[in-house]
A and B are shown apart, each in its own frame.
Chain A
């Protein structure tokens, strides 16, 4: 059974960096059939896919245009986890953040982390 366990701070100051980690059990982040995503949710914008990382003989990343200049998603194979870094946050980055596994090629989201409420506030 795949499980994703999120960790990271729930409060970030404006202009600072949001950092979250997702520990994976029951699968490998280096799996050739999976991709590892970050999705956020707000009442106003709904569910928003932010980006993903996946391994196909080398590591690849894909990001949403809305955050492309500020986001980094990185795998850590030694700990079987992946992380989200979002730079220069504003109040609009306040959201519930989920780490999510998807079936590569098919792109449906079959396992979700528990979610982290991140508030951007001074």
Chain B
């Protein structure tokens, strides 16, 4: 199985900040990497797929980069609704696996 490791596990930020979250795969997954945001009490919501493609309806302050084993999610200009937990997920091979999450707190 491909292991996904996110860092940091939590971070403190303020509205308007630039936030960067990293995700590392235990083996190369090319660009088969997706990002989700999960607000408290809600299901995860797809933000970015295939490493850098913004899902329809997702604000442009979100961006993704990386390939191989190392990936980054960047939020430019954190908004109140962005205080949430973020997950990466590899879609390279079965079983599909997730990172442990990064909680963005105020």
Q: Which residues of A contact B (CB under 8 A)?
A: 37, 46-49, 62, 64-65, 98, 102, 106-110, 112-115
Contact = CB atoms under 8 A, between A and B. Distances in A.
B95 to A, nearest CB: 5
B89 A108 contact: yes
A109 B96 CA distance: 10
A29 B84 CA distance: 31
Main secondary structure of the interface of B (DSSP, over half): loop
A51 to B, nearest CB: 9
B50 A47 contact: no
Nearest to A115: B43
Given A47-B101, A108-B50, 19 more contacts: A37-B96, A46-B98, A46-B99, A46-B100, A46-B101, A47-B44, A62-B94, A64-B95, A65-B1, A65-B95, A106-B49, A107-B32, A108-B34, A108-B49, A109-B36, A109-B46, A110-B49, A112-B44, A115-B43
Most A-side CB within 10 Å, residue of B50, B96, B100: B96
